Amino acid sequence: MHKPVAEQEPIHQAPQSSQNQPVAPASQDETTPLVIMPTQSRFSTVTIHYIDHHRVPLRPTMTLTGEVGTVLDLPWLKFAGYYLAAITNLKQHFPEENTTIWLFYKPQLAAPVMVLHQNLEGGLLIKPQFLSGALNERYQANPLEGGANFVHHISANQTGRFTTKTQFVHFKYDPLNLKHSDAPKQRFIELLESTNTYQQPSEEALTASRLPKHAVWKIYSRAITPSGKQWFNLGSFWISPTRYQLHATNPKGSDETYQVPKFTYRYAVVKTTSLNLSASLNNSTVTFWQAPYDHPTTYQVMPKTRVVIKQVVILDNQSRWCQLKTGQWLMEGLLTLN
């Protein structure tokens, strides 16, 4: 008879040190590769705004992308009529995080526009007005308040754009509100009585000279007052005769340019200004003088003939005279400054 065998507990052996463990030889086909993980490049974006002083964009937003830490080549853009005034958040390298740079531009101031309000003789009615603005910005000069109906002439640059050079705008007013026109078809006038002469078509501009009866003169232009009174421009002075006869040709058989009678006007110089300005003649018929109101001579010249002004004088009757580099004098109203 067999006795049952008691169940033995498993015998647990203490682990042995690996130093004492024999190493099994590796298989000749088994290798352990060396893996090197590459460094991942990082990029960021820079948004650039080009705006004016009112935060209005001067161009569409620009976005640049680059590797973090590399040089940021910022586009320095120029805009006509503006200058770069300030920069916000300027960077020299692409930053760690996306960022925004603001470039602020301000308008570049231009040379002023000088507005001159003058009477027909060139005298200033008020002090010159100055218009200012940014370079290339548009401007518009306006006549004096309430004076639009009395404007006789406006220079061609009443509207334009500001530039780097000073510009002059001329408004010339006729306080008598005369209607000016060319000479009539019958261009010669024969006076049927002695007639007064005037420096301008105004009763207040009477001169000391009178034209004799039966004198014949050539008419260069004429003007009519609102009441219908007619004035004739005889080259260097005006007349408003009551008795006269017009002729298509010179009844005396000569078409020579007449000399204006010598004026015996006494005057005093109020102000003298030395200049060196270029100007052009407004008319094709011009009267030059040896001195203001002294020894006048009328010439036919090419329109827009250019001259150089040496000085300007203002007389006690508020008339303005220009002396040219040639030494001759003429009234400022016959010139346009360039």
pTM (whole model) above 0.85? no
Going from the first residue of the chain to its last (338 residues), give the mean pLDDT of each consecutive group of 10, the final group possibly shorter.
44 50 55 69 94 93 94 91 90 94 91 90 85 90 87 91 92 82 86 89 81 86 83 85 91 56 58 84 78 74 82 79 88 79
Domain of 275, in residue numbers: 269-337
The maximal CA–CA distance of the chain, rounded, in angstroms, is 187
pLDDT value, residue 7? 44
CATH code where residue 61 lies: 3.10.20.320
Sheet holding 99-107, edge to edge: 62-67, 43-52, 99-107, 82-88
> Given this model, what pLDDT does residue 260 score?
44
pLDDT attached to residue 183: 79
Residue 246 burial by CB count (10 A; 0-12/13-18/19+): exposed, middle or buried?
middle
Cα gap 79→94, rounded to integer Å? 25
Regarding whether 149 and 135 lie in a shared domain, the answer is yes
The span from the first CA to the last CA of the chain, in angstroms, equals 147
Residues 204 and 167 in one domain: no
Q: Tokens at residue 201, please?
A: 């078509």
Residue 264, domain member (yes or no): no
pLDDT score of 32: 66
In a domain, 142, yes or no: yes
Residue that finishes a domain, picked among 126, 146, 173 = 173
Integer Cα distance of 121 and 174 in angstroms: 10
